[in-house]
């Protein structure tokens, strides 16, 4: 009972957050609603018995990406959204993409229903033992340093390259600024 309520709450968070992020004019509010959506996704991961993934979702997307977006909103010239105007092209492209996503989601849901995987929360069994949650973390860890070791390292390398690139870019700016000051 409580579990299914929480499940639908997470769903509502995702939907309301996503819709709000797309529709609200105030950029800061839109970013906060995006955070609501991301938190809801973390909750859905918990229902899929992936606590590790849920924690990483919160660390990376709320602690990292969302905070960066909130930072960036301060540099927006029109943070309150007072001067925004709806362009017809944006409207057409946006609603087209939305319709496509809706069709895809509907298709996936119907296929899932046909295969017997309904929209039931997976943790509905009452005898959920804490140890049952331990398996998923270990499995993810084993997969990351086992079968998916090379992609995992490649992602790390990519991030390192991005970091070094950022440092070099800043360094170039700093050198130019110092030259100008001199």
Partner 1 sequence: MNGLGYGVDGLSHWFVGIGMPAWLAVTMAVLLLWIAPMLVVVFPIAALGQIFERKIAAAIQRRVGPNTVGLDGPLRFAFRAILCFLPRARQDRVFAAFCKLPVVRTILKVSQRLGLGQLVADGVKMLGKEDIVPSGADGLVFRMAPYLALVGAFVPFCVVPFTQHMVMLETSVGALFAIAVSGIVVVALKMAGWGSGNKWSLLGGMRAVAQLVSYEVPVGLAVAGVVLWCGSMDLHVIVGQQYQPGVFSMVGWNLLQSPFLLLLAVVFFIAGLAECQRSPFDMAEAESELVSGFNTEYSGLRWGMFAMAEYTEMLLIGALFATLFLGGYQSPLCEEWIVGLPVLLETFVHLALFVGKVAVTFLVMMWIRWTLPRFRVDQVMRLSWLKLVPICLVCLLGLAVTMVSSGGTVLGAPFGRLPASPHADLGLIGRLVAWAIPVAVVLGLVRASRKKHGQLHPALRQLTGGGS
Binding-site ranges for partner 1 (CB under 8 A): 28-29, 32, 35, 51-52, 55-56, 58-59, 62-64, 66-67, 70-71, 74, 126-131, 133-134, 137-138, 145
To partner 1, the closest distance from the beta carbon of 8 in angstroms equals: 21
Q: What is the chain's Cα-based Rg?
A: 21
- Residue 152: both structure tokens together: 């995992």
Kindly tell me which of 101 and 145 has the beta carbon lying closer to partner 1: 145
- Do 26 and 81 contact (CB within 8 A), yes or no? yes
DSSP 107-163: HHHHHHHHTT--S--GGG-TT--HHHHHHHHHHHHHHHTTTTHHHHHHHHHHHHHHH
Kindly tell me which of 17 and 35 has the beta carbon lying closer to partner 1: 35
To partner 1, the closest distance from the beta carbon of 170 in angstroms equals: 12
Kindly tell me which of 80 and 93 has the beta carbon lying closer to partner 1: 80
Kindly tell me which of 94 and 136 has the beta carbon lying closer to partner 1: 136
């Amino acid at each position: 009972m409580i579990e299914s309520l929480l499940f639908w709450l997470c769903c509502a968070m995702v939907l309301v957050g996503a819709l709000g992020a797309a529709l609200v004019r105030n950029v800061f509010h839109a970013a906060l609603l995006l955070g609501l959506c991301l938190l809801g996704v973390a909750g859905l991961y918990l229902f899929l018995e992936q606590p590790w993934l849920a924690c990483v979702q919160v660390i990376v997307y709320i602690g990292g990406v969302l905070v960066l977006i909130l930072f960036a909103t301060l540099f927006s010239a029109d943070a309150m959204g007072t001067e925004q105007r709806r362009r017809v092209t944006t409207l057409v492209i946006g609603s087209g993409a939305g319709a496509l996503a809706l069709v895809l989601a509907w298709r996936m849901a119907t296929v899932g229903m046909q295969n017997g995987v309904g929209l039931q929360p997976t943790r509905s069994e009452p005898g959920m033992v804490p140890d049952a949650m331990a398996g998923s973390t270990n499995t993810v860890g084993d997969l990351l340093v086992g079968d998916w070791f090379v992609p995992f390292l490649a992602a790390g390398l990519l991030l390192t390259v991005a970091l070094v690139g950022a440092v070099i870019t800043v360094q170039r700016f700093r050198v130019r600024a110092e030259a100008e000051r001199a």
